[in-house]
């Protein structure tokens, strides 16, 4: 968000349902015009965040601020937000056009203006000519687009999307991700989207807010979350990751070591002052992505700056563009997942072969256990 102006802010928002805490001190700033994704497993409280912003649920503590004004007590129908509901919540007794135009009808728009605006919105979501159909006559993807058209027609400041693609199959979901992104670029409205699908979050979001057990664990750009996870949960949540266990070594200039039983792991700490300043001796992981590791013959001469682990190939599995390799440390102390580009002639390694795995310190981060 750094460059944009702050549109919406949650300040220390907490929520308890019947004495059970669901959200604890959530702080969140949403920039004007950005796509922000709230990502978390089911039951993490991510939908509650969205419902509090939309006004459907009142927070137990904390404030919701819109452009400097406290809107915590403002009722749903007076917030300049619109929601795309999880199962679309289209009115089954209204046509597509009536559904889309509902927000205008509520505001007492003139019939002719309404028809025009509805037609324009339907064109935008590529549902030209579907106006007279009923929701039951549409496919899942089409209903999704009707719900989107209905939400954008009143030009809200913020569009809340609750698992908008959750009900669609994989193929359609990919397609709709691109579609949503295009629409967002066109209307430049802020999107706040809740999802449990990390791939979707990475594909859609300018920034991701990772929520687990009612707490915000980390907020950042997808790249940052992927390569600089702040917690073990985040490190494990996005794709495959090698978490190599050890103890945090002495502080260095730009690097810190995680002392694993089999050797030191050098990790970059730039941009992570809390890691750079952490006490040595803490339990920690050196986290490195499988695609950052390269494999060399056992007798290869390597740059001394590189992290290295000697081991034996235990498994090789081809999965299309990439080939996954499992390397076990010579002493058996550590297992490393490696992902290599597949080649037509095959990856030049075999199960049982002795190799040296290496990776750059810049691609390796400390994660406190």
Partner 1 sequence: MQGGSGLSGRREGADGRRWRALQQALIVATVYGLPVIFVLVPLLTFLVYSFFWVEGGAMHYSLSLQNYLRFFAGEAFFRVFWQTILLCLGVAAMATLVAYPVAYFLTGIKGRMKSTLVMLILVPLLMSYIIKIYALRSILGANGLLNQLLMGLGLIDTPSSFFVFNLNAVMLTQLALLIPFAVLPILLSLERIPRNLLEASTDLGAGGGQTFLWVILPMSLPGVVAAATFVFVLAIGDFLTPQMVGGQAGFTFGRIVYSQFGIAFNWPFGAALSVILMGVIVIAIVVGARYGSSRRGTA
Residues that bind partner 1 (CB under 8 A): 54, 56, 75-78, 81-83, 85-93, 102-103, 105-107, 134-137, 143, 150, 154
CA distances from 216 to 3, 107, 175, 232 (A): 22, 37, 29, 13
Cα dihedral sign for 4, 209, 292, 200? negative
Least distance to partner 1, CB of residue 107, Å: 6
DSSP at 275: H
Of 46 and 257, the one with the shorter C-beta distance to partner 1 is 46
SS3 category, 120: helix
Of 189 and 323, the one with the shorter C-beta distance to partner 1 is 189
Of 98 and 292, the one with the shorter C-beta distance to partner 1 is 98
Of 88 and 238, the one with the shorter C-beta distance to partner 1 is 88
Least distance to partner 1, CB of residue 134, Å: 4
Helical residues (DSSP H) of 24-110, grouped into ranges: 46-54, 96-100, 102-106
- CA of residue 238 relative to chain centroid, distance: 8
Of 17 and 91, the one with the shorter C-beta distance to partner 1 is 91
Residues 6+ away with beta carbon under 8 Å from 99 = 90, 91, 135, 146, 150
* CA–CA gap between residue 275 and residue 284 (Å, rounded): 10
Question: Tokens 């791939």 — which residue?
Answer: 199
Of 82 and 323, the one with the shorter C-beta distance to partner 1 is 82
Consecutive H or E run containing 143: helix 140-152
The two three-digit tokens of residue 210, written as one number: 């990772």
């Amino acid at each position: 968000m750094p460059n944009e102006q702050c549109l919406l802010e949650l300040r220390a928002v907490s929520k308890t349902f019947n004495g059970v805490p669901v959200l604890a001190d959530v702080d969140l700033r949403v920039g004007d015009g950005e796509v922000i994704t709230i990502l978390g497993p089911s039951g993490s409280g991510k939908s509650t965040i969205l419902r509090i912003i939309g006004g459907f649920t009142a927070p137990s503590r904390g404030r919701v601020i819109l452009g400097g004004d406290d809107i915590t007590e403002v009722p749903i129908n007076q917030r300049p937000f619109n929601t795309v509901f999880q199962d679309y919540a289209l009115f089954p007794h209204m046509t597509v056009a009536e559904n889309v135009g509902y927000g205008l009808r509520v505001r007492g728009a003139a019939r002719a203006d309404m028809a025009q605006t509805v037609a324009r919105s339907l064109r935008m979501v590529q549902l030209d000519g579907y106006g007279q159909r009923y929701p039951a006559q549409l496919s899942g993807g089409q209903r999704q687009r009707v719900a989107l058209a209905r939400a954008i027609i009143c030009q809200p400041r913020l569009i809340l999307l609750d698992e908008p693609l959750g009900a669609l199959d994989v193929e359609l979901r990919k397609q709709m991700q691109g579609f949503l992104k295009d629409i967002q670029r066109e209307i430049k409205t802020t999107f706040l989207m809740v999802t449990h699908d990390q791939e979707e979050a990475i594909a859609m979001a300018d920034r991701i807010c990772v929520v687990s057990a009612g707490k915000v664990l980390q907020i950042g750009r997808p790249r940052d979350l992927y390569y600089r996870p702040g917690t073990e949960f985040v490190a494990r949540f996005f794709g495959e990751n090698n978490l190599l266990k050890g103890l945090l070594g002495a502080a260095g200039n730009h690097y810190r070591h995680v002392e694993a039983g089999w050797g030191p792991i050098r990790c970059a700490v730039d941009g992570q002052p809390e890691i750079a300043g952490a006490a040595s001796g803490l339990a920690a992981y050196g986290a490195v992505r499988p695609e950052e590791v390269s494999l060399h013959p056992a007798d290869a001469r390597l740059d001394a700056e590189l992290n290295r682990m000697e081991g034996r190939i235990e498994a090789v599995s081809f999965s299309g563009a990439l080939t996954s390799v499992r390397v076990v440390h010579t002493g058996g102390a550590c297992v490393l997942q490696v992902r290599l580009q597949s080649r037509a002639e095959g990856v030049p390694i075999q199960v049982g072969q002795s190799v040296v795995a290496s990776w750059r310190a810049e691609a390796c981060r400390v994660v406190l256990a």
